[in-house]
Amino acid sequence: MLEKPSSIVPAVAALERSPGSRTLRAYATDFHAFESWCRNRRRTALPATTETVASYLAWLADHGRKIPTVKRALASIAHAHRTHGYGWGMPNLLKKTLVCIRRQSGAPSKKSPITDTTLRAMVGTCGSDLRGLRDRAILTVGWAGALRRSEIAGLDVADIAFTGDTLVVTLRKGSKSLALAADPTICPVRSLRAWLDAAGITRGPLFRAISRSGRTRTVALSDKSVANLVKSAAESLGLDPTIFGGQSLRTSRSVASILGLTSRKDS
């Protein structure tokens, strides 16, 4: 449950300062949309939990709404809660949601993003041999971590650590923790374990070239090879390979999935 705030994001506070009749009408329209969204997902709109509000904001962003629209939606939800006597705060999750949306909207991709549905289909094109296991690991780890193709190609065994159900990937600018996915077909943890076990890799480059005879080589894949892998998977599905590439993995994650808010009913 949202609590009484100690501080409010300035943008939201500005929208809420002495709202006029036009602003109030906009609030009412926006909150009605939020109520409908909650009703379709069997969630409570008033009072709403922090997770529900964050999921809604992420859903708006993932469906093409710009940051000003998302902020106004948040302001309308805040106004409704205060009007009805409920406490309203700005927990870290909501702040993180706004930051994530702003970053996503500020970095448009020239390549088409890969949705979770497309990822499942792409993974389905991978065989059960070494090459297929490697490609599946690249696709799922790259997608889950929103990694650049250069980051994928540059990974070393020393850069990863399995901790229970979590895979920690260390990069130059920090580390990322990838959790065990509910769907095993797109799980980065399971896929990477399967590749490493089958290839017998214990040190050196994580993702390697495979010879024509099907043997794992010692040299790492190039970032161009990662991009070609994505294009090939797209073409196998009958998609236009020219609009997919390594960048599709990095820009594929929705705001909701990045924040760990995605559910079947949120799509």
Helices 92-105 & 50-62 angle (0-180, nearest 10): 10
Tell whether 132 and 58 lie within a shared domain.
no
pLDDT of 17 over the 90 cut: no
Q: Are 218 and 207 in contact (CB under 8 A)?
A: no
**64-68: average pLDDT:** 85
- Domain region containing 65: 10-105
Q: What is the pLDDT of residue 219?
A: 93
**Domain of residue 96, CATH code:** 1.10.150.130
CA distance 264 to 225: 33
Beta strand pairing status for 216-220 and 208-210? antiparallel
**Domain of residue 141, CATH code:** 1.10.443.10
> How many domains, in total, are found in the chain?
2
Tell whether 130 and 252 lie within a shared domain.
yes
Residue 114 pLDDT class (50, 70, 90 cuts): confident
Tell whether 169 and 138 lie within a shared domain.
yes
Encode pLDDT of 136-188 as tens digits: 999 999 998 888 899 999 999 999 999 888 999 998 877 788 877 778 899 99
CA distance 52 to 58: 10
Tell whether 150 and 49 lie within a shared domain.
no
Q: Which of 17-26, 160-169, 235-244 has the lowest mean pLDDT?
A: 17-26
Asked whether residue 267 is assigned to any structural domain, the reply reads no
Q: What is the pLDDT of residue 15?
A: 44
CA distance 75 to 18: 12
Counting residues of the chain whose pLDDT is more than 90, the rounded percentage is 50
Cβ-in-10-Å burial (0-12, 13-18, 19+) of 159 comes to middle
Q: What is the pLDDT of residue 6?
A: 39
CA distance 188 to 116: 13
pLDDT averaged over every residue in the chain: 84
